[in-house]
């Protein structure tokens, strides 16, 4: 009876290991994870936006669940629908330079159901005053 229980336990553990190994998952791969707007972002020139494009390189759909900006001066927008394997999605980062002269570096933290589950994107640049 002990041998039978050991065999059942062993088969259960092996079955779980095989299922876990073969699980399908999405995989977000960005073309770039950082963008520099340059040294001449005009403070009074309006918002600047960069689109980060990614491809799902996995074998299951991937969904971005949230994008959190490190500062209130940065607003994210992103693909809300699941992105199928081989398809592309995006994350837009909009920075408001008004009242923020000088260097800036802001992060956007992406949470998704793929691999890796957390990705950090960075925008940077220099805001200059006196330009329209």
Domain CATH number, residue 93: 2.60.40.10
Answer yes or no: is 11 within a domain.
Answer: no
What's the total number of domains in the chain? 1
36 vs 5, more confident = 36
Answer yes or no: is 31 within a domain.
Answer: yes
pTM: 0.81
Answer yes or no: is 66 within a domain.
Answer: yes
Phi and psi for 9 in degrees, rounded to 5?
-60, -45
39 token code pair = 């040294």
**For 75-102, how does the pLDDT look when each residue is reduced to its tens digit (9 = 90+)?**
999 999 999 999 999 999 999 999 999 9
Tell me the residue range of the domain where 35 lies: 25-128
- Residues in CB range of 82: below 8 A, 6 or more apart: 61, 62, 63
């Amino acid at each position: 009876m002990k041998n039978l229980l050991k065999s059942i336990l062993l088969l259960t553990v092996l079955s779980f290991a095989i299922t876990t190994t073969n699980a399908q998952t999405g995989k977000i791969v960005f073309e770039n994870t950082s963008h520099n707007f340059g040294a001449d972002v005009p403070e009074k020139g309006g918002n600047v936006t960069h689109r980060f494009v990614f491809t799902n390189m996995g074998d299951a759909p991937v969904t971005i669940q949230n994008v959190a900006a490190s500062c209130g001066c940065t607003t994210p927008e992103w693909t809300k629908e699941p992105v199928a394997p081989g398809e592309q999605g995006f994350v837009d980062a909009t920075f408001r330079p008004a009242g923020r002269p000088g260097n800036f570096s802001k992060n956007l933290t992406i949470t998704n159901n793929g691999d890796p589950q957390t990705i950090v994107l960075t925008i940077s640049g220099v805001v200059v005053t006196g330009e329209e």
